[in-house]
Structure 1
Amino acid sequence: MSSENYRLTEEGERELHEFQKDVTMPPRFLEGWRYHHLTTLFWERLSIFVQVSSNLINQNKGFIPIQNKQETKEWLKSFLKRQNTNRYELAEQLYTELTECLQQEKSIDPAVLVLRLTGHNRIGLTSEQAAEKLEMTNPHYQLEFLNILHYMINTVSLTKNAFPLLSSLVQDVQKEVPLTLSTEKTFQLLQKGYLPNEIAAMRNLKMSTIEDHIVEIALHIKEFELNGYVKPDKQKRIMDAAKKTSAKKLKQIRDQVDDVNYFEIRLVLARNGGQKWN
């Protein structure tokens, strides 16, 4: 192990080999950077929408909502008021959209999601119970659960006309720049003119954490100006070194451009990560 690289022990290699016999890693649709701000919200809205629809068509108003967040319940209340259809047609449409969405992709197991859903006279399983029922380890189940949610978010967002109800679950919160919440706070302070070291002090965070935030911002916000952090001539030399080595290993680049630090290299690579270097 070095400061930049880790290697599995022989025992770790054996465990990984056994794990990969039954598990595809990483799951095909898992995109944490892109959907981290939507995942929990999508699940909360979907699960309570299914529960409420199921109980309404069975004329049961005495159920306890599966989601406790007031904003989630208020969202559903407002959403239902805007629908120009009766409860039976709405429930049927929701069922149809869910079925079609989950059946479109053969690589996923709908049971990973369906077992968690609560309805009339039916309590959804916890993640631990679902994992046990599907004979998965808890970490494996969690990955597959996130994989299905990310698949659904991507599918219904791209084909809104085919999934008008499901796409509505995230339509009001879609945003083009998926920054983490902590990075977003740093970005807002940068826009107000605060310096990175000032932000670190204000937020009681390490400077390295603020630098991580700035790299994330450079990766996702193309309008973010780098010149205040890395001089243009350094940016050019960093990219020239990256092209020569055909690698993104920081040490190899720093060996060729010895007057830059790792933060500057990471920042430039984040901005230019989508380019073909060869």
Structure 2
Amino acid sequence: MERTVLRQVVMEAIIRLRNERTDRSLFHIFQGKRSATSLQDAHFYGLESVFGMLPLKKERFEQVLRELEQAGWIRQEQTLIVTESGQRQVSSPFLVDELGGELRGYPILLWKRVSLLIQTIICLEQQTFFVPVQQDSGVKEWVRKQVKQLPKRAIWMREIHQELEIAFSQLTEREATLISYRLSGQKTGLSFPQLSERLGTDLLSLQLEFVMAWRKCLRVLPEAGLILSLGTDIDQTRMTQSAKKTWEMLKQGYSVQQIAERRRLKKSTMEDHLVEMAMYAPVFPIDQFLSAEAYEEVVIVSDHLGTFSLKRIKQELTQEIDYFQIRVALARKVVNR
């Protein structure tokens, strides 16, 4: 069976899950489900980069797993397991780390803005009718506002072209091709299906390749350049809105109990918010929730067993530490490393 980018990414993700999570868990990570469990799985197992970046339909996801199983690369039991044959199909560095899911949609939204703004400027300069390459109403409204603020469009376009030209010189030929063929001017850029047919690559693998190419392009663009300036207002916060609100109240001096009462949060919801904070906040008052000795024991047991399984860790602890405290400790373990 051919080793496509799609199959490679799925295999890499399964390896990261350490035979500890189900196909449903992986599906929810790919979908970007912002539930406490899925956010925690992505954080613990090093899959933030693929979070929400592979929104396959359930049927297609299950088809990919069947193909991998039929090839003898994985087994589906209570959890997903990569076979020895499957391990040999995966090479380093992992592609899964290049998808940018940890940026929570920033690369995709910036691409939509850049591609539509370039198309709009070119067509306005040439006084040519065009069908917007992006149909997102928020993006179209953003572009309309930007166009009004660009008095010297031709100069702006030249600078954008220079930035892209320099960036493309630092990409592979295929990466530069994927991006340039998608850009539109007077002539509409190629759609993913058209590009897939031209390059002879399956559609989903091509879309993943494009995302990786665009993310690499963003890394080599000048930080003070025009293109990156178009995305400075894009929210890249990983924390959910509800947890963020709880975090703001905690920083204002409210106690956990006061926040729960004021926001009418259940104990389980409040704990989920605190775990999110432990995962994403640069500074977190962990000593308010467990002792240094308890934290250290959770980390030692987790490392010794090579697991993030709460149940397995709980069974090995010598102190009385509840599941919420274990989750907080594991969250900070990942951050601190």
Report the alpha carbon displacement of residue 48 of structure 1 after superposing the two structures with TM: 0.7
Taking structure 1 as reference, are residues 249 and 28 closer, same or farther at Cα in structure 2, changes over 3 Å only? closer
Following superposition of structure 1 onto structure 2, how do residues 59-74 of structure 1 map, counting pairs within 5 Å? 59-60=127-128, 62-74=129-141
2:239 aligned with 1:160: no
2:178 to 112, 136, 153: 112
Map 1:5-16 to 2 at 5 A.
9=69, 11-13=71-73
Identity %: 23
Is the 1:29–1:150 Cα contact (8 Å) retained in structure 2? Answer: yes
> In the superposition, relative to structure 1, how do residues 257 and 22 fare at CA in structure 2: closer, same or farther (>3 Å)?
closer
User: 1:237 and 2:297 equivalent?
Assistant: yes
Q: Report matched runs for 1:88-237 at 5 Å.
A: 88-106=154-172, 109-120=175-186, 122-156=187-221, 159-161=222-224, 164-173=225-234, 178-180=237-239, 183-192=240-249, 193-195=258-260, 198-199=264-265, 207=268, 214-237=274-297
Count matched residues: 257
Which of 56, 76, 82 does residue 143 from structure 2 map onto?
76
One-letter identity of the residue aligned with 1:266: R
Task: Report the Cα distance in structure 1 between the residues aligned to 2:302 and 2:90, rounded to whole angstroms.
Answer: 36
The one-letter code matched in structure 2 to 1:188 is: K
Aligned-pair CA distance for 1:167: 1.2
Q: Which runs of 5+ in 1 are unaligned?
A: 202-206
Aligned to 1:50: 118
Q: Aligned equivalents of 2:90 and 2:199: distance in 1?
A: 16
Contact kept in structure 1, 2:247 and 2:277, CA below 8 Å: no
- Give the Cα–Cα distance (whole angstroms) in 1 for the partners of residues 168 and 336 of structure 2: 34
Match 1:38 to one of 85, 106, 110: 106
Unaligned runs of 5+ in 2: 1-16, 24-67, 75-81, 250-257
Q: Contact 1:222 / 1:271 at 8 angstroms: preserved in 2?
A: no
Matches of 1:211 and 1:111, distance apart in 2 = 47
- The residue type equivalent to 1:105 in the other structure is L
- Relative to structure 1, the CA distance from residue 199 to residue 151 in structure 2 (aligned partners, 3 Å threshold; closer, same or farther) is farther
Q: CA RMSD in A?
A: 3.9
81 and 66 in structure 1: CA distance in 2 versus 1, 3 angstrom threshold: same
Alignment-derived partner of residue 204 in structure 1:
none
Structure 1: which amino acid aligns with 2:260?
A: L
Post-superposition Cα deviations, 1:219-268, rounded to whole Å, max 9, x if no partner, equal 2212233345445442232134345x173443553332163344432321
The answer to whether 1:4 aligns with 2:20 is yes
CA distance in structure 2 between the partners assigned to 1:102 and 1:265 by the alignment: 46
CA deviation string 1:12-48 (max 9, x = no partner): 418986x959998515632211x22312320111111
Following superposition, the deviation at residue 215 of structure 1 comes to 3.4
Q: Give the conservation status (yes or no) of the 8 Å contact 1:131–1:137.
A: yes
C-alpha separation in 1, matches of 2:238 and 2:107: 14
What is the rounded CA distance, in whole Å, between the counterparts of 2:20 and 2:175 in structure 1?
37
Change (3 A) 1:5 1:90: closer
Give the residue type in structure 2 aligned to 1:95.
H
What amino acid maps onto 2:162 in structure 1? T
| Residues 147 and 262 of structure 1, relative CA distance in 2, 3 Å threshold | farther
TM-score computed with the length of structure 1 as normaliser: 0.73
CA distance in 1, matches of 2:92, 2:184: 27
Contact 1:189 1:199 in 2 (8 A): no
**C-alpha distance in 2 between matches for 1:3 and 1:27:** 17
Q: 1:63 to 1:32 in 2, by over 3 A?
A: same
2:205 partner letter = H
